[in-house]
């Protein structure tokens, strides 16, 4: 199954406040991913957003007092293939078009934080944040295309369109709805 995420804004190459910048990107994608879990068949993910007291699988991870809900998780044996289209105001071939470091920042924003050092101190505790990935090792393929964004004159803003193709590492009854 495929779906798209859209991000418009800065993707810094080497941000000084790295955790804060990545969290800002993550928060801009959160509303799209939350909405995804409200639409069938992705709404079935709601069955896995609950307390482990029920002895059921859960995809929720708590890091530094924040609940993170990854759409692609090992509990459901799901993997992701990503097609990333980056539209930028820079001319192609200029030094500012640092694709590899921008992709690192973007991949870090697509996954949940792995420890408390990846959550900014001013992040609101007690909230639930939806992320695409539990961890970036669940990405099996990445394709990146860049183009000049003619409608934009702000050198910091990018328009990024991420096509997510969900795959299963192992077919189960739990992930069947997400891979057909």
Q: Tell me: the pLDDT tens digits for 135-150? A: 999 999 999 998 888 8
pTM: 0.90
pLDDT digit string (tens) for 54-113?
657 889 999 999 999 999 999 999 999 999 999 988 766 655 557 888 999 999 999 999
Total number of domains constituting the chain = 1
Number of Cβ within 10 Å of residue 111's Cβ equals 22
Domain residues for 36? 2-179
Instruction: Copy the structure tokens of residue 69.
Output: 């809900």
Let me know the angle formed at the C-alpha of 162 by 71 and 108, rounded to the nearest 5 degrees: 65
């Amino acid at each position: 199954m495929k779906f798209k995420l859209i991000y418009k804004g800065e993707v810094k190459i080497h941000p000084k406040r790295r955790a804060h910048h990545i969290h800002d990107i993550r928060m801009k994608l959160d509303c799209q991913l939350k909405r995804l879990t409200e639409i069938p068949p992705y709404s079935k993910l709601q069955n896995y957003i609950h307390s482990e007291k029920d002895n059921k699988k859960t995809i929720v991870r708590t890091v530094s007092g924040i609940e993170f809900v990854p759409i692609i998780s090992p509990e459901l044996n799901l993997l992701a293939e990503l097609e990333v289209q980056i539209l930028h105001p820079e001319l192609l071939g200029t030094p500012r078009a640092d694709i590899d470091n921008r992709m690192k920042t973007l991949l870090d924003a697509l996954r949940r934080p792995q420890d408390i050092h990846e959550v900014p101190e001013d992040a609101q505790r007690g909230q639930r944040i939806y992320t695409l990935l539990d961890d970036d090792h669940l990405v099996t393929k990445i394709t990146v295309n860049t183009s000049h964004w003619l409608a934009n004159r702000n050198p910091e803003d990018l328009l990024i369109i991420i096509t997510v193709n969900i795959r299963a590492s192992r077919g189960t009854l739990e992930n069947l709805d997400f891979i057909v």
